Structure 1
Amino acid sequence: MTRLLSHPVRDHGHRPARAGLVQPIAAVLTDRIDDVAVAEAAARMALVRRVPLLLIAVMPPHVGRSPLGPAACPSVRAVLARVMPKVGPHAIGCIPEVFHLPAGNGSRLAAAKQLLALAGRHRAPDVVASRRGPHGLDAHALIEAAALRGGPFVHAIAPAAWVPLRSPST
């Protein structure tokens, strides 16, 4: 019996991803102490999946945009420099990106939707954020915005517990 031409053959086997369609893991960096825990969790996920890390630095609206790229601004470099010692040893690629908070008093989810749209432009299926963050950019607001827009999966990271410094014993 011959196969009809109107019915295409569907191969349900595993297909490797196309090289141009890399889906990085996004980490939301809000210039807080929690950024290190967020970046470490995102780096572990990216290492397991063998994809780069999208580092989204959240900046206030008054911080200027640089025509040379996101990593050219000194405040963005300061945010990235805080997490790079923890991300660098994993030897994964990093894509720096800047998200400027919207000016004015928008709705609680406006900034979250815009940040998720930025992650969507990079085709990031997962976004890692801190449970505490600036208004509208904490993990709970991002989860709610992702549910409303059908966006990426948001992972909430708890801040690291405070451990007092110990002086060397003599």
Structure 2
Amino acid sequence: MTRLLSHRARESAHRPARAGLVQPVAAVLTDRLDDVAVAETAARMALARRVPLLLIAVMPPHISRCGGPASAPVRAVLARVIPKIGPQATGYIPEVFHLPAGNGSRLAAAKQLLALATRHRAADVLAARCGPQGLDAFTLLEAAALRGGPYVHAVAPAAWTPLRSPAP
């Protein structure tokens, strides 16, 4: 006769951590002026959901791939948006996406970027309406529809306000 496992024996088994269940909000940063609006919108969405931000810094293919999120070019892209999202007290995960070299299809870069966001379990991806080489929000929307990826939100650039000089 075989002995049945008790509940205590099953409970003492090693369980994986639940940290992978967090679904961050991803912001695509392409080293343009629109990055601040994208990061601020993503930070508000992440704060409302109480999840961290996934800041994806898009790098050109000629930038070296060694160094990862700690390299100087990535830190320069993140330095533009961190002061704007810092006061909102959301955590962030830095990630690097290198544009593919050569002339791939229009959706190739968008599919790879969405695959990176999916690996981090990002439920939402925010991108600017215009971006480099197929990484605008509309191309990402099309790629997400084709591959069944995360929700993509288009963020409009921040409204331009003129500088006001003091009255004489």
Aligned equivalents of 2:40, 2:27: Cα separation in 1: 9
Tell me the CA shift for residue 169 of structure 1: 2.9
Tell me the CA shift for residue 74 of structure 1: 1.0
Partner of 2:32: 32
The correspondence of residues 57-72 of structure 1 with structure 2, limited to 5 A, is 57-67=57-67, 69-70=68-69, 72=70
User: Which one of 89, 95, 98 corresponds to residue 96 of structure 2?
Assistant: 98
The correspondence of residues 141-152 of structure 1 with structure 2, limited to 5 A, is 141-152=139-150
Partner of 1:4: none
Tell me the CA shift for residue 65 of structure 1: 1.9
Partner of 1:83: 81
Q: Percent identity?
A: 80
- The TM-score with structure 2 as length reference comes to 0.87
Tell me the CA shift for residue 20 of structure 1: 3.2
- The TM-score with structure 1 as length reference comes to 0.86
Q: Which structure dedicates a bigger proportion of its chain to helix?
A: 2
For these two proteins, the number of residue pairs brought into alignment is 151
Partner of 1:163: 161
Partner of 1:112: 110
Structure 2 unaligned segments of length 5 or more: list them: 1-17
Counterpart of 1:52, as a letter, is P
Partner of 2:41: 41
Structure 1 unaligned segments of length 5 or more: list them: 1-17
Indicate the SS of the match to 2:110. Answer: helix
C-alpha distance after superposition, 1:37-66 (max 9, x if no partner) = 000000000000000000000000011123
Tell me the CA shift for residue 160 of structure 1: 1.1
Aligned residues: CA RMSD: 1.0
Tell me the CA shift for residue 164 of structure 1: 1.6
Aligned equivalents of 2:157, 2:40: Cα separation in 1: 12
Tell me the CA shift for residue 161 of structure 1: 1.7
Partner of 1:134: 132
Tell me the CA shift for residue 121 of structure 1: 0.3
